[in-house]
Structure 1
Amino acid sequence: MPSSDAAFLHRLLDVVTDDIVPLTETGVQRGNKVFGAALLRKGDLSLVLAETNNEIENPLWHGEIHCLKRFYEMPAASRPAPSEMIFLSTHEPCSLCLSAITWAGFDNFHYLFSHEDSRDSFAIPHDLNILREVFDVQRGGYRKENAYWTARSIRSAIAELPAGERTPLEEKAETIVGIYDRLSARYQTGKSDNAIPLR
């Protein structure tokens, strides 16, 4: 495992770019949203699995849920325990995915884009709307540290680093933002052609 928080954050961003984005590019071409997830071993940050949204097959297959589905399809003998892994999500998990991460036994998750980003930059307001309308949770205000897990914003973690460590990570994150801007535009252009209930 990297010896510094900066190295850890670099690794998370690299997994987004190298492992999640290629899957998401294919998924978006098929009509899916831009959300993806990955699982890494805590010990050495090696990749266990990366996945992306597959709502055109099943509207429940959000990026995180699809990742968990694939994870539990792995043979039990070769599947690490959830307590031994980092859960990485490209976007802050919605209420469905928050619950799934909890029920699956993960004690953490890290995300790059916030619920507000999903609403404002990606034109997908459902996460905040469902939290408000169904659970009466205003402004996405769930507890990011609780008895089950700790949630951490990658961009907030980057902002807390000294300038020398922060700048290269900010640049890497901005490159990823540009990639997701393009993926989002492609999804928005074609979403009327799919049958996802909440597009």
Structure 2
Amino acid sequence: MATIPEPKLIDRLLSVMENDIVPLTREGVAKGNKVFGAAILRKSDFSLVIAGTNNEIENPLWHGEVHTMKLLYEMAPEDRPAPADCIFFATHEPCTLCLSAITWGGYDNFYFLFSHEDSRDSFNIPHDLKILKEVFTLEPGGYNRENVYWVSSGLMAGIEAAPEVERAGFLARVDALNKTYAEMSEVYQANKTATEIPLN
């Protein structure tokens, strides 16, 4: 059973998304990139190590999660905590490329806000579920969310389990993020044919 995030962690991950990832994503989307972003935090105190966003216009492999790891490894080694000491956060449930990158990167966990279904239905980016089905013959939700490499969890599971007072505040913030990402998605969708991203 996947770990359900506690309210303190949910609050912190939403703050990182609101204050650190969204500004980067706005800039990226304006250049033609998708809306996906990520961040790496220390487990010990939830401090931010690095935040990043999609950069597929430079390289189609620079998905939000992969590009964030790339930026991490451009930092000085002494500033980079070990993956085992980190929380990995993705704004959207990672695709198969990013699931593999998180695994190869040595992270034993990841959290996300928007699901694969959200990516398909709300953001008109169906590739995650399509690749799971076509390449791996998996239905939505068919991969192991807890395995020998990592445990994953959607923030919404923790929000739904949170005490009512905290839950209401979290849901309001998620609603605001939904609106922000819908706006960014409209910009991306309006301009995506002008880029060389293979799976746009």
Q: Which TM-score applies when normalising by structure 1?
A: 0.96
The count of aligned residue pairs is: 196
1:124-139 aligned within 5 A:
124-139=125-140
* Residue of structure 2 in register with 1:99 after alignment: 100
Aligned runs of 1:80-95 on 2, under 5 Å? 80-95=81-96
CA contact (8 A) 1:35 1:91 kept: yes
In structure 1, the gaps of 5 or more residues are none
1:191 is aligned to 192
Alignment-derived partner of residue 75 in structure 1: 76
User: How far 1:73 sits from its partner (Å)?
Assistant: 1.6
Q: 1:7 aligns to what?
A: 8
Report the residue type matching 1:38 in the other structure.
A
Q: Quick one: which amino acid aligns to residue 144 of structure 2?
A: R
Could you tell me how far 1:83 is from its partner in structure 2?
A: 0.5
- Per-residue deviation, 1:140: 3.6
Q: Gapped runs of 5+ residues in structure 2?
A: none
Alignment of 1:111 with 2:116, yes or no, is: no
More relative contact order, 1 or 2 (CA 8 Å, 6+ apart):
2
Give identity over the alignment, percent: 56
Write the distance in 2 (CA, Å) between the matches of 1:14 and 1:162: 19
Per-residue deviation, 1:5? 1.9
Q: Does 1:144 align with 2:145?
A: yes
Aligned to 2:176: 175
Q: CA RMSD in A?
A: 1.0
Runs of 4+ aligned structure 1 residues displaced above 3 Å come to none
d(CA) in 2 for partners of 1:90, 1:109: 10
Letter of the structure 2 residue corresponding to residue 163 of structure 1: E
Task: Show CA shifts across 1:1-47 (max 9, x none).
Answer: xxx92121111000001000000000000000000000011111110
User: How far off is 1:139 after superposition?
Assistant: 1.7
**Aligned match of 2:162:** 161
Residue deviations 1:114-134 (CA, integer Å, cap 9, x gap): 000000000000000001101
Question: In the alignment, is the contact (CA less than 8 A) between 1:131 and 1:140 conserved in 2?
Answer: no
Paired amino acid for 1:95: T
